[in-house]
Amino acid sequence: MRQPALYSRSPRGPAAAPEPALPAADHTPPASSRPWRERLPRWQEQHWRWLALAALLALLAQAFFPATQQRRLTQKDIDAAVLKTLETANLPSPAARAAAAVAPSVVRVAGFVTDKDGEEKEHGLGSGVVIVDSGVILTNLHVVAGANRIELTFHDGTRSGAHMTGAQIHNDLAVLQAQKLPDDLHAATLRSTADLQPGDGVVAVGFPFGIGPSVSSGVVSGLNRSFRSHEGKQQIGNLIQFDAAANPGNSGGPLVTMDGEVVGIVTAILNPSEQRTFIGIGFAVPIENAASAVGMHPF
């Protein structure tokens, strides 16, 4: 079938009557003076319109669809980028992440007494953990028992006095209220020990021998343990046994899961010698018992 012409060179309307021919020399201007389009060969003149249209379309495409437009990312592109990051980036260890999560809530606890000469001296040194952002802190009772003055040092260096508002003698726990709070105080996240199992990773954070905050990592060694103090004065039951290094000064600090959640309060180390050095067995009071000291709802 013959297709209709897209463009027609015929004039619209009835054909005009032909005019008498005149000599070419009288009416035909020289080639150099005719417009450039009229000097083109017929086939070039036919295609000139197509070339102009194509150029216009190219300009429009460049304006509305710039060459710098990015292609849409696919899931394959994202997976490749994540894999490359995992292969090249130095990610923190689980213990480092756990310690960083609880660090803003760990405090240094010092108890002072006044001797017979009227001079103040350090009576007990340990650690504590903020469990309510109003300044409620858990520590060990033996750290602050008998102290005339209690001093706290927070994560940002803020120092504050404190007074004891409660105690659990059978769990060696004391509840402190800070008198001065940092501008941005963080309370630790507490976690039930119901699903805790031997072999689970844990981190102990505190101030052993006053040095810190210090971090040690290990695992839960056992559950529902009992411990009697070296002097035989007190026995504590239902304890978490762990092997993360703990020394004097760690007492009252948090025992933390690899998720950065507190499951216990470090209370004692098993030490059959007089050197009071860590031999691989530490004990912590489960956080359920510790939270009940401040009237917090059990998990």
Q: What is the pTM of this model?
A: 0.69
* Per-residue pLDDT at 115: 87
Instruction: Provide the annotated active-site residues.
Output: 142, 172, 251
pLDDT at residue number 228: 83
CA–CA distances in Å: residue 196 to residues 152, 215, 263 = 31, 20, 9
CB-based contacts of 107, cutoff 8 Å, min separation 6 = 127, 128, 129, 130, 137, 152, 153, 154, 155
Q: Cα–Cα distance between 143 and 290 in angstroms, integer? A: 15
What is the pLDDT at residue 291? Answer: 78
Question: Mean pLDDT, consecutive 10-residue segments, the chain of 299 residues?
Answer: 38 47 48 50 53 61 55 80 76 91 96 89 94 94 94 96 92 94 92 94 95 95 87 81 94 96 93 72 92 67
Residue 65: predicted pLDDT: 55
12 class by beta-carbon count within 10 Å (0-12 exposed, 13-18 middle, 19+ buried): exposed
Backbone φ and ψ for 189, nearest 5 degrees, come out as -90, 130
pLDDT value for 63: 59
Torsion of CA 37, 40, 45, 47, to 10 degrees: -120
Beta carbons within 10 angstroms of residue 193's beta carbon: 21
Could you tell me if 206 and 106 are in contact, meaning their C-beta atoms sit under 8 angstroms apart?
yes
pLDDT at 87: 75
Domains of the chain: 101-178 (2.40.10.10), 201-292 (2.40.10.10)
